[in-house]
Structure 1
Amino acid sequence: MSRVYLTRPLPEAVLTRARALFDEVEVRHDTAPLKIGQMRAALTLYDGVLPTLGDMFSAEVFRDAESPRCKVLANFGVGYNHIDVAAARAAGVMVTNTPGAVTDATADIAMTLILMSARRAGEGERLVRAGGWAGWHPTQMLGLHVTGKTVGIIGMGRIGQAIARRCHFGFGMNVIYYNRSEKDLGFDADRAETMQDLAAKADIVVVAVPGGVETHHLIGADLFSAMKPTAHFVNIARGDIVDEAALIAALGSGQIAGAGLDVYEHEPKVPDALRALENVVLLPHLGTAALEVREAMGLMAVENLSAALNGETPPNLIS
């Protein structure tokens, strides 16, 4: 008998598929992250768990989990820095994720933020909603023209490449990137030697690297000081990749022109100092927030669960 636990409400199509595959499916209807006691209980009570962002399956959670009933954590999302993969492996628990399903939707949000920040769309909407718009005039709210500019992308995995294609083919932008290895994108793109070199040349800097210990505060004052004062910064990766205090300082001093953020260092907490700035666009982690995308993610996670519990290698195994 297979018993699985879904730690958040999921689209109905996902629940229907899960109920067809498993004997017992328990869905937690609270949208807040699991607490440590709940995670420890889940390892004991279920054969498989479908967790997501915020469910911090740390080494502490696995510390006393000797031969747990749970055999797989099928993460809902491509990022899995909230799961200690090594600790899970040591406890005999597989970890999977949902790559591919999130790529285009996340790249679309990057483009949304690029355009909103460069063209001051958030600021403009607030002006209209507040009743402060006096009418069109030739020098009103002048922003950055995106077409033909240079985008610098930090991280050239699936999502970084999808952003690059949109920028190049959709907006005629020059693409430069910083990545550990050279990438063949099918069009001209220059690989920067350092992030600072990229920042100095780019009109828009986009972060698309995975979260985790290696990338914690990868972006900070050094990068912002290398950027043009007319440049914009966009983060659609993980919030703690960016030193949020350094970003607030750069925006507040005019060191950079603007920013667009879909993620935050201490999400869902957004500092008052950041919310008070006019030159930053703030979205509530909308990267994959489309029904068909969330369905695809959920179905992929469910198939990972099913494979693991049937003694097969899950298609998206991390460990």
Structure 2
Amino acid sequence: MKTLLITRLLPEANLAAARARYDVTLRTETCGLTVPESAAALAKYDAILPTLGDQFSADAFAGDIRCGVLANFGVGYNHIDVAAAKVAGVQVSNTPDVVTDATADIGMTLILATCRRAGEGERLVRANAWTGWQPTQMLGTHVTGKTVGIIGMGRIGQAVARRCHYGFDMPVIFFNRSRKSCDVPSRQVDQLGDLMAQADIIVVTVPGGGSNTNLIDAAALAKMKPTGVFVNIARGDVVDEEALIAALQAGRIAGAGLDVYAKEPVVPEALRALENAVLLPHLGTAALEVRAAMGQMALENINAWDDGKPLPQVV
């Protein structure tokens, strides 16, 4: 029986399926593996089911390697140096598709909550500071009919576009490094700065890491309308967090809705202090049926590796 390390607690159905086939070690810590811990795990286990926060950098692959597969729990895998893994003979997979709708739903949650100032309103009520309905109280941004600009028109970007167009009559524009056709009425914008300037609401859905690190920098944010709303459901490292905080503090943009952060779980105090920011604790796929489907997909990749077959979701 091959050994399998699962780096975080998964839904019980996933654990039962894993234990039926493998000698499973389950980490109960909520923090990710450090680089030395990742290196030790690669030397000790036949297979590993990691997730966001586990640091499988190039240094982790420098020593002895027993592990044959990293079946990542999540669509994003910027915490894994895939090139170093390949050199070390370790296959890597992820869990696309099953996360698409849940992540897009969180995108819409953040659009609505930020535009309509729902976070501020809830805090007002909880503080017992609400004095009653007033015609000009907490006026926000009307979402219906606003232009949404999507950065990264992959599966999640297109799912957001469908919700915006068909649900809220929003014109859709998007920026993508390659030419992209999709089944949602939309217009591709060739320059990121042009998209930032034209859209009322920006939604980021690109993969993290690599050339996308700090893709949204101070210069890009400066292009936004002062009434603009910025939403990030991608990865925290895609955005220059300090530049975003500065733009929000100065009122250069109206608000931001964030589900991801540069150094999770650390969220800067300056960001937490902002009333015009809606902050979620990385809830993108946080529904039991979605997380169970992600776990099942990760296990199917491990099973394929164990059977000597190609990984269905190899990256």
Which TM-score band (shorter chain)? over 0.9
For 2:182 and 2:164, locate their aligned partners in 1 and report how far apart those are by CA, in whole Å: 12
Secondary structure of the structure 2 residue equivalent to 1:89: helix
With the length of structure 1 as denominator, give the TM-score of the two structures: 0.97
Deviation at 1:195, TM superposition (A): 1.1
2:62 is aligned to 63
For 1:304 and 1:257, locate their aligned partners in 2 and report how far apart those are by CA, in whole Å: 43
How high is the sequence identity, in percent, across the aligned residues? 64
Cα RMSD of the aligned pairs, angstroms, is 0.9
Deviation at 1:225, TM superposition (A): 1.0
Q: Deviations over 1:280-301 (max 9, x none)?
A: 0000000001100000000000
Q: Deviations over 1:220-277 (max 9, x none)?
A: 1111111111110000000011001110111111110000000011111111111111
1:74 is aligned to 71
Number of residues paired by the alignment?
315
Q: Deviations over 1:86-132 (max 9, x none)?
A: 11111110011001111110000000000000000000000000111
**CA 1:221 to 1:37, structure 2 compared with 1: closer, same or farther past 3 Å?**
closer
Deviation at 1:25, TM superposition (A): 1.2
Does the 8 Å contact 1:47/1:309 carry over to 2?
Answer: no
Deviation at 1:8, TM superposition (A): 0.6
Does the 8 Å contact 2:165/2:185 carry over to 1?
Answer: no
For 1:192 and 1:91, locate their aligned partners in 2 and report how far apart those are by CA, in whole Å: 40
Mapped pair 1:301 → 2:298 = yes
Does the 8 Å contact 2:158/2:184 carry over to 1?
Answer: no
Q: Which amino acid aligns with 1:206?
A: V
**CA 1:187 to 1:302, structure 2 compared with 1: closer, same or farther past 3 Å?**
closer
1:52 is aligned to 51
Gap regions ≥5 residues in structure 2: none
For 2:182 and 2:213, locate their aligned partners in 1 and report how far apart those are by CA, in whole Å: 27
Does the 8 Å contact 1:219/1:243 carry over to 2?
Answer: yes
Q: Which amino acid aligns with 1:41?
A: A
Deviation at 1:144, TM superposition (A): 0.3
For 1:227 and 1:35, locate their aligned partners in 2 and report how far apart those are by CA, in whole Å: 37
Task: Note the 1:1-319 alignment, pairs <5 A.
Answer: 1-22=1-22, 24-65=23-64, 68-318=65-315
Q: Which amino acid aligns with 1:62?
A: F
For 2:310 and 2:182, locate their aligned partners in 1 and report how far apart those are by CA, in whole Å: 31
Does the 8 Å contact 1:71/1:309 carry over to 2?
Answer: no
Instruction: Give 4+ residue runs of structure 1 displaced > 6 Å after superposition.
Output: none
Deviation at 1:183, TM superposition (A): 2.6
Q: Which amino acid aligns with 1:9?
A: L
Does the 8 Å contact 2:161/2:184 carry over to 1?
Answer: no
For 2:49 and 2:55, locate their aligned partners in 1 and report how far apart those are by CA, in whole Å: 13
Secondary structure of the structure 1 residue equivalent to 2:20: helix
For 1:55 and 1:187, locate their aligned partners in 2 and report how far apart those are by CA, in whole Å: 36
With the length of structure 2 as denominator, give the TM-score of the two structures: 0.98
Q: Which amino acid aligns with 1:287?
A: G
